[in-house]
Amino acid sequence: MKYIFFILIGLINGLFTSGAGQLLIFYLVYVLKKDTKKSREFSLIIMPLISIPTFIVYSLKGNIDIFMCIIFILISLIFGFLGNKTMKKINPNLLNLISGLFLIVITGISLWRIL
């Protein structure tokens, strides 16, 4: 069952390029009953690895501005490091609440654009 779920996460990441990390965290915390902080750390390690094939495919089709990617990577590295340090100091339940609210807002914005 968990392998099927991980295949689903890879497909979601490849198709939508977002949301798969949150889905992975949900699965690890609420289905497999893993520690919230460990699940988030695991997600931070796994998501870049499964994003590499997506990046390669989009790059080969010429759909990516490499200069912009480098800027985003540098900014993401800096703030990812700061976020990781901050995450370790926040209560896991508060992390789940913030994550859930973030997903609701992003989903709302996406739906608003569609409509």
- The 8-class DSSP code of residue 18 comes to S
> Can you give the length of the chain in residues?
115
* Model confidence pLDDT, tens digit, residues 15-33: 666 667 777 888 888 888 8
- C-alpha pair distances (Å), 84 with each of 53, 81, 90: 25, 5, 10
Contact 100, 23 (CB under 8 A): no
The residue type found at 22 is: Q
* Model confidence pLDDT, tens digit, residues 80-112: 788 878 877 888 888 878 877 877 787 777 778
| Token reading at 73 | 């990577």
